[in-house]
Amino acid sequence: MIEVQHLTKRYGRVTAVQDVSFRVERGEILGFLGPNGAGKTTTMRILTGYMPATSGKAVVAGFDVFDQPIEAKRRTGYLPETPPLYPDMTVREYLLFVASLKGVPGKERRARVDQAMTKTRVADMAERHCAKLSKGYRQRVGLAQAILHNPDVLILDEPTAGLDPKQIIETRQLIKELAGTHTIILSTHILPEVAQTCQRVVIINHGHVVAVDTPDNLTARLRGSETLYVQVDAAGADATPALAAVPGVTRVAASGSAGQTAGYEVESARGEDVRRALARTVVERGWGLLELRPMRMSLEEIFLHLTTEEEQKEPAEAAHA
């Protein structure tokens, strides 16, 4: 549904996006994740036809955004970083106006506007002037204008930025409801957001794609070794030597203690299941095994890992100055 190939955008000497490629399948929600200045907004502006790329190709709903911009735009809904509302119009007036701009036939406009307001839960603000909306409602009206013409593709630039926790949950729920009938790209620098909302993630840093995968695979892929957390009541004794002696264990690190119990992080080579042997060792010594569970790298850690690794290489700007 969306195909991006070798997209590059330079602003003078600054390379904002470099050789970015990814695909989004129909009905999928793709998370575009990266720190400030990574190139998320730039990529989205190119995909929505607001700005040309320096080089590369982007196809949205079967239409090349450079060669057939009108056809591509007709099938795209865009929520920019700051929704462009008209302060003097009421929410309903504004949405009717956008509907006419988007070529929704006159007879259908009222019904479409009502539907969009219901879906984004702004109907109670229909007669309120846009200038008097709270930030969260502005964001939702922005979402309403993006879905008005029922586009195949939705491109949402930080759709939950500035919302309160309740609104964030509602907006994520709405986005999930919209997927399936719409193909969605959303950008964020908030990690739990992609884990909760997206099927796949593109991680971008300094204009480069550093990873494309499902949140689960990203977690698994970066876990070179298996780490278990083991909590033992060894009556105050240090269990490290005993745990380290278990066949397959490559490293043991103490991880906090309280009274008689102590926690340990036990590493083993990938694919080696040392849980039974560990449990046996602890029990045979007459200690209490209080906890034994796999430790997973959180998305936060993965994100830092990927973006810090990238930092150590040359930044795009320096490389192309």
Ligand X SMILES: Nc1ncnc2c1ncn2[C@@H]1O[C@H](COP(=O)(O)OP(=O)(O)OP(=O)(O)O)[C@@H](O)[C@H]1O
Q: How far is the CB of 157 from Mg ion (least distance, A)?
A: 6
Q: Which helix (H) or strand (E) holds 113?
A: helix 106-119
172 binds, among ligand X, Mg ion, none (CB under 5 to 8 A by kind): none
DSSP bridge partners of 79: 156
- Judged by beta carbon, residue 81 or residue 238, the one nearer ligand X is 81
- Among all chains, which residue has been given the structure tokens 């259908």? 108
307 binds, among ligand X, Mg ion, none (CB under 5 to 8 A by kind): none
36 binds, among Mg ion, ligand X, none (CB under 5 to 8 A by kind): ligand X
197 binds, among Mg ion, ligand X, none (CB under 5 to 8 A by kind): none
Which residues in 22-31 are b (16+ Cβ under 10 Å) and which e? bebeeebbbb
| Residue showing the smallest CB distance to Mg ion in the complex | 41
- Judged by beta carbon, residue 203 or residue 266, the one nearer Mg ion is 203
Distance CA 239, CA 241 (A): 6
For Mg ion, the binding residues (CB under 5 A) are: 40-41
Distance CA 291, CA 170 (A): 36
Q: How far is the CB of 146 from ligand X (least distance, A)?
A: 17
- Judged by beta carbon, residue 38 or residue 234, the one nearer ligand X is 38
Task: Answer yes or no: are the C-beta atoms of 291 and 231 closer than 8 Å.
Answer: yes
- Judged by beta carbon, residue 37 or residue 263, the one nearer ligand X is 37
- Judged by beta carbon, residue 58 or residue 266, the one nearer Mg ion is 58
For ligand X, the binding residues (CB under 6 A) are: 11, 14, 16, 34, 36-42, 189
Distance CA 67, CA 49 (A): 10
Exposed/middle/buried for 15, CB within 10 Å: 0-12, 13-18, 19+?
Answer: buried
14 binds, among ligand X, Mg ion, none (CB under 5 to 8 A by kind): ligand X
